[in-house]
Amino acid sequence: MAGVKEKTLRALRETKEEYLSGEVLSNLLGVSRTAVWKAVQALRQEGYDITSQARSGYRLNKIPDRLLPAEISWGLKTRFLGHHIHYYETMSSTNIRAKELARQGAGEGTLVVAEEQVEGRGRRGRTWHSPPGEGVLFSFILRPALQPTHAPQLTFMASVAVAKTLREDYNLPAGIKWPNDIFIRGRKVAGILTELSAEVDRINFVAMGIGVNVNTELASFSPFLRERVTSLRVEKGHSLARVPLLQRLLLSLEEEYTALLEGGFAPLRRRWLELNLVLGKRVRIISPERSFTGTAVNVDEYGALLVQEEGAGLRRVLAGDVSLREGG
Ligand code: BTN
């Protein structure tokens, strides 16, 4: 249920840069003028720029550049993804929080968003660095009726959704580097972390985390990362509004997820093949067991990468990293 604050925001938004008197607002919402004033104060605290004039009332001038639930919900076209939002100014990791919420019974589609992560996580115990307020960092809960062995298909699903959004809505040449990296012109712009709670034969929940470098300048990354990563700002030459990006990502993720559950892996795999950056390339595989060089030739329904090792046979790689640089 929307409270006075949410209803005030909606009314101010709908009047589009015009003044709305305190009296009209209080009649519209069925609350006292003091309650309206308090709601306006609360909105200002969140960063909304609202002017008040003695005779004219209130006017919304500018919405803050924050991933506030009210902003994400406004105009969100999804059926279920992002309908329950947990927003944090600072959080250890949105994946950690999503897993806690899932354990407490939070439903499919629950979204966790943070402006800043102090323990942002990447795959294989790595950290994910993103300066506060500059990226789109989010996790959501899924409860798919999939076999746990097929869970890597969800990473394929998310990679396709992210790459498609960047290509179709932002006109950027984004591609997928197996298993979970989104690259633009040879540099990583987004990463996906799929975490699973499962029994032998069923998935309890999946916490899927996505981090996109949006408005970060290259200088803000460490010298090591500076040569390897990029951001949408760097690629487009200007900063981008993060809320519409998140809304588009959520819609695309929901579409791909629904298509996977209804249509199986084969159609998703075809879309993935069109977007992938590794098949047919000479690659260096760095995996927990061993590292080797070969040619990436295929992916199977378990998400494994099939690599023709040089001077040896076909190898099936389920966990590991692909280096295109060192592959030559
Ligand atoms: C990777 O590239 O290894 C995966 C990076 C995933 C980063 C995102 S940011 C939001 C979510 N919360 C985390 O702690 N990690 C994911």
CATH of the domain at 296: 2.30.30.100
Cα 194 from Cα 27, distance rounded (Å): 48
- The verdict on 80 and 173 lying in the same domain is yes
- The verdict on 115 and 163 lying in the same domain is yes
pLDDT score, position 327 = 59
Q: Of the residues 137, 180, 212, 321, which should be mutated to test ligand 1's pocket, given the most ligand atoms within 8 Å of the CB?
A: 137
What single-letter DSSP state applies at residue 170? Answer: T
Cα 128 from Cα 174, distance rounded (Å): 20
pLDDT score, position 1 = 54
- The verdict on 101 and 180 lying in the same domain is yes
- The verdict on 175 and 152 lying in the same domain is yes
- The verdict on 16 and 141 lying in the same domain is no
**Structural domains in the chain (count):** 3
Write down which residue in 20, 47, 62 finishes a domain.
62
Cα-based distances in Å from 258 to 108, 109, 174: 12, 12, 22
- The verdict on 197 and 127 lying in the same domain is yes
- The verdict on 247 and 286 lying in the same domain is no
Per-residue pLDDT of the chain (328 residues; tens, 9 = 90+): 578 999 999 999 988 778 999 999 999 999 999 999 999 999 999 999 999 998 899 999 999 999 999 999 999 999 999 999 999 999 999 999 999 999 999 999 999 999 999 999 999 889 998 899 999 999 999 999 999 999 999 999 999 999 999 999 999 999 999 999 999 999 999 999 999 999 999 999 999 999 999 999 999 998 999 999 999 999 999 999 999 999 999 999 999 999 999 999 999 999 999 999 999 999 999 987 889 999 999 999 998 999 999 989 999 998 888 998 765 5
Write down which residue in 62, 84, 108 finishes a domain.
62
- The verdict on 220 and 83 lying in the same domain is yes
Which residues sit with their C-beta closer than 6 Å to ligand 1? 93-95, 117, 120-123, 126, 128, 137-139, 180-181, 191-193, 209-211
- The verdict on 260 and 298 lying in the same domain is no
Which residue has the CA at smallest separation from atom 1 of ligand 1? 122
Q: Which long-range contacts (CB under 8 A, 24 or more apart) does 161-165 make?
A: 161/249, 161/252, 161/253, 161/255, 161/256, 161/257, 162/190, 162/192, 162/210, 162/212, 162/249, 162/252, 162/253, 163/275, 164/252, 164/256, 164/271, 164/275, 165/245, 165/248, 165/249, 165/252
- pTM for the model: 0.93
* Residue range of the domain that includes 306: 282-327
Return the half-sphere exposure (C-beta side, CA atoms, 13 A cut-off) of residue 219.
0
- The verdict on 142 and 189 lying in the same domain is yes
Q: Rg of the chain's alpha carbons, rounded to an integer? A: 22
Which ligand 1 atom is at minimum distance from the Cα of 190? 2
- The verdict on 310 and 265 lying in the same domain is no
- The verdict on 84 and 217 lying in the same domain is yes
